[in-house]
């Protein structure tokens, strides 16, 4: 709100009176000063009411906006992640007004949460709260700026990947064909668990050795046509990957036997998860299922590529990333050229 109170002014190119509110001019649509003054009073009253409403916003109001946004962007991720995080924040502090959510409040929040969870989890809680507040600010729910929180440490990049002999043991232990194919395909493409289970034969080009893990575009619902913007669900990175070797032969055999459009199928049906069968194979291979998950195969493929000296830009493309930032952060130290030249630079002779 401007420091000076809004007031009426004439306009040089109109007979109507305008409201001067700081640098803004608002038309009263009236030429009579009496009626224009009544419009001015309503304008001031409405503005004061809006400011008062924004000052009284509770954290639960902010979380409501964020929850709707997360549910719209990706319903599956919301159900498995954001739903519980948001509910936890709402239960603890949802009734607090935003004026109470200060850096000092955040310090107390961290102190209490450290008795239950590790720092990376608390960091995610506060980061999500900050994102929710920023969204509410953009949507006009509040006019209060996002407070600066001191965030706890982030978790170190995970390094759960298989050595070559461990991968061979896992493939051998995968007694069910669909589990074996999943493991082989994950190691050959660095594909995400969900992306591989959603993969259709139309996305596999065996003649040219290419697998397109990118999700196919879905038709725009009628209500979103004719220029209206449809909400676009966000998805994690997926790549368009070349394949070679015996995996192509295995895919040919599987395609001949397939009864659905999906590459990974079991008993004539596609799968929503392969975690049970995968965990059994991990245990049978003598590996730790707490560390070797379906996602660990993606880490394994990226790590092997970096260890082999593949250009990080190509590795990023395989993973579906737009640049090499994440690749270098998580896998850069595996590349043979990662520390190249340092020893010569530090020599005294």
Range picked from 111-120, 253-262, 291-300, 320-329 for highest mean pLDDT? 253-262
State residue 186's pLDDT score: 95
Task: State if pTM tops 0.85.
Answer: no
**Cα 93 → chain centroid:** 24
286 phi and psi angles, rounded to 5 deg: 75, 25
Task: Identify whether 222 is part of a domain.
Answer: no
179/320 same-domain check = yes
Structural domain total, the chain: 3
Q: Which of 110-124, 140-154, 235-249 has the lowest mean pLDDT?
A: 235-249
**Distance between CA 121 and CA 112 in Å, rounded?**
13
Task: Point out the domain boundary residue: 139, 156, 175.
Answer: 139
Q: What is the pLDDT of residues 274-319, one digit of tens each?
A: 988 999 999 999 888 878 899 999 999 988 988 888 888 888 888 8
Percent of the chain with pLDDT over 70: 83
Output the domain CATH number for residue 171: 1.10.443.10
Q: What is the pLDDT of residues 10-36, one digit of tens each?
A: 988 888 899 998 888 899 989 999 999
Task: Identify whether 150 is part of a domain.
Answer: no
> Between residues 185 and 226, which one has the greater pLDDT?
185
124/183 same-domain check = no
Q: Which stretches of 56-203 are DSSP H helices? A: 59-73, 75-77, 83-93, 103-113, 119-138, 164-173, 177-189, 193-198
Region 244-267: what's the mean pLDDT? 95
- The burial class, CB within 10 Å (0-12 / 13-18 / 19+), for 299 is buried
DSSP 269-294: EE-S--HHHHHHHHHHTT--TTT--H
Host domain of residue 23: 7-54
Q: Which two tokens stand for residue 55?
A: 């000052």
Q: Which of 112-126, 175-189, 261-275 has the lowest mean pLDDT?
A: 112-126
Q: What is the pLDDT of residues 67-87, one digit of tens each?
A: 999 988 888 778 877 888 999
């Amino acid at each position: 709100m401007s420091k000076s109170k809004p007031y009426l002014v004439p306009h040089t190119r109109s007979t109507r009176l305008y409201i001067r509110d700081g640098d803004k001019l608002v038309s009263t649509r009236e030429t009579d000063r009496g009626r224009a003054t009544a419009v001015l009073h309503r304008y001031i009253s409405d503005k004061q009411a809006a400011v008062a409403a924004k000052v009284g916003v509770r954290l639960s109001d902010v979380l409501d906006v964020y929850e709707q946004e997360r549910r719209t962007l990706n319903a599956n991720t919301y159900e498995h992640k954001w739903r519980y995080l948001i509910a936890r924040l709402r239960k603890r502090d949802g009734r607090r007004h935003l004026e109470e959510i200060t850096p000092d409040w955040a310090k107390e929040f961290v102190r209490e949460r450290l008795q239950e969870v590790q720092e990376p989890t608390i960091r995610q809680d506060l980061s999500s709260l900050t994102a929710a507040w920023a969204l509410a600010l953009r949507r006009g729910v509040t006019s209060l700026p996002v407070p600066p929180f001191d965030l706890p440490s982030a978790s170190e990049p995970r390094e759960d990947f298989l050595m070559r002999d461990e991968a061979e043991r896992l493939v051998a232990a995968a007694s069910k064909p669909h589990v074996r194919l999943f493991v082989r395909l994950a190691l050959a493409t660095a594909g995400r668990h969900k992306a591989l289970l959603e993969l259709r034969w139309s996305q596999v080009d065996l003649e040219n050795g290419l697998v397109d893990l990118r999700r196919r575009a879905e038709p725009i619902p009628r209500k979103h046509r004719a220029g209206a913007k449809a909400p676009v669900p966000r998805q994690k990175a997926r790549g368009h990957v070349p394949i070679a070797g015996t995996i192509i032969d295995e895919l040919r055999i599987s395609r001949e036997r397939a009864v659905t459009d999906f590459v990974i199928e079991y008993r004539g049906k596609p799968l929503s998860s392969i975690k049970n069968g995968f965990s059994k194979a991990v245990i049978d291979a003598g590996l730790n299922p707490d560390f070797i998950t379906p996602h660990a195969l993606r880490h394994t493929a990226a790590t092997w590529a970096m260890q082999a000296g593949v250009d990080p830009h190509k590795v990023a493309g395989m993973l579906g990333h737009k640049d090499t930032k994440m690749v270098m952060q998580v896998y850069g130290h595996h590349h043979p050229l990662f520390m190249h030249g340092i020893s010569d630079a530090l020599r005294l002779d």
